[in-house]
């Protein structure tokens, strides 16, 4: 799986692992582990020098608290929403306790940690999820892969997502991953009710589905952020 490593940037930086032969990126998370979702855009100013310092200061602390960088993706097209981050990245921690302990101690260990991040990234959104059951999934570069984040209206108790997911499946889409009940640390707030990744065979197949079932028609939603990853 790790035939070509383009660039790794730990703790919310750029993390790509391309598989030249198959175009597949595979992921495994066990029950009780924590899955990070990071949406980031790196600065174009003096990045290498700043990242070298970030790597030397933040990496050892994160490793101590069990963080494991995972494959990341370039975003390609903003479909719904007002912002397109440059990268969509996964991360892994051994358990929720270690994840939260890291957040509590990092400023003691690296006093300018958040300052470094602000200088390195012009945008940084983060949500993390405790994995309830073992999950294995793969994302293929030759498919049309769409990430959708849903925010429900506060008073809505209906399961709008189940209706939407059934429509996806009936129209040829494959739900690769569904995440819910996430948390988001102060300063990096990105906390939708659900994040879903759907694989479509082609862009045309996705467009056809979107015209038949536009998300703007779902009155139960207060906001949607949707984009293609590549």
CATH number of the domain bearing residue 111: 3.30.70.100
Q: Give the CA radius of gyration of the chain.
A: 18
Question: pLDDT tens for residues 141-162?
Answer: 999 999 999 999 877 666 889 9
Nearest to 220 by CA among 149, 148, 152, 150: 152
Give me the pLDDT at residue 160, please. 87
Q: Residue 16 burial (CB < 10 Å; 0-12/13-18/19+)?
A: middle
Same domain (yes/no): 46, 111? yes
Do residues 228 and 76 touch, judged by C-beta distance below 8 A?
yes
Residue 17 vs residues 4, 37, 70, 119: alpha-carbon distances, Å? 6, 16, 8, 25
Same domain (yes/no): 92, 182? no
Same domain (yes/no): 162, 193? yes
**Structural domain containing residue 213:** 141-229
Q: Apex CA 214: angle with CA 211 and CA 215, to 5°?
A: 155
Do residues 210 and 172 touch, judged by C-beta distance below 8 A?
no
Calpha distance 218→159 (Å, rounded): 11
pTM for the structure as a whole: 0.89
Q: What is the CATH number of the domain that holds 210?
A: 3.30.70.60
Give me the pLDDT at residue 159, please. 81
46 phi and psi angles, rounded to 5 deg = 60, 35
pLDDT band of residue 218 (cuts 50, 70, 90) is: confident
Same domain (yes/no): 118, 148? no
Q: Is the pLDDT of residue 15 over 60?
A: no
Same domain (yes/no): 11, 120? yes
Same domain (yes/no): 120, 208? no
Question: pLDDT tens for residues 79-114?
Answer: 999 999 999 999 999 999 999 999 999 999 999 999
| Strand partners for 203 | none
Same domain (yes/no): 178, 199? yes
Q: Of the candidates 92, 108, 130, which is a domain's last residue?
A: 130
Do residues 173 and 59 touch, judged by C-beta distance below 8 A?
no
For residue 29, tell me if it sits in a domain. Answer: yes
For residue 197, tell me if it sits in a domain. Answer: yes
Q: Mean pLDDT score of the chain, rounded to an integer?
A: 90
Q: Is the pLDDT of residue 74 over 90?
A: yes
Q: Is the pLDDT of residue 7 over 80?
A: no
For residue 136, tell me if it sits in a domain. Answer: no
Same domain (yes/no): 187, 208? yes
Give me the pLDDT at residue 133, please. 97
Same domain (yes/no): 106, 44? yes
Structural domain tally of the chain?
A: 2
Same domain (yes/no): 99, 169? no
Calpha distance 78→113 (Å, rounded): 30
């Amino acid at each position: 799986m790790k035939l070509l490593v383009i660039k790794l940037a730990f703790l919310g930086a750029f993390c790509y692992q391309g598989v030249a032969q198959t175009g597949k990126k595979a992921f495994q998370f066990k029950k009780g582990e924590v899955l990070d979702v990071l949406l980031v855009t790196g600065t174009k100013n003096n990045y290498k020098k700043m990242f070298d310092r970030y790597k030397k200061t933040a990496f050892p602390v994160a490793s101590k608290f069990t963080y494991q960088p995972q494959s990341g993706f370039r975003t390609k097209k903003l479909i719904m929403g007002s912002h397109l981050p440059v990268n969509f990245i996964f991360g892994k921690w051994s358990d929720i306790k270690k994840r939260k302990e890291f957040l509590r101690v990092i400023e003691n260990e690296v006093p300018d940690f958040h300052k470094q991040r602000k200088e390195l990234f012009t945008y940084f959104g983060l949500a993390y999820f405790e994995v309830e059951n073992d999950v294995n999934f793969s994302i293929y570069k030759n498919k049309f892969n769409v990430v959708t984040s849903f925010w429900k209206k506060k008073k809505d108790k209906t399961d709008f997502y189940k209706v939407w997911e059934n429509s996806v499946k009936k129209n040829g889409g494959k739900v690769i991953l569904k995440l819910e009940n996430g948390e988001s640390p102060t300063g990096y707030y990105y906390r939708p009710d659900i994040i879903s990744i759907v694989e479509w065979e082609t862009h045309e197949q996705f467009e056809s589905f979107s015209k038949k079932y536009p998300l703007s028609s779902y009155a139960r939603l207060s906001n949607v952020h949707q984009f293609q990853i590549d």
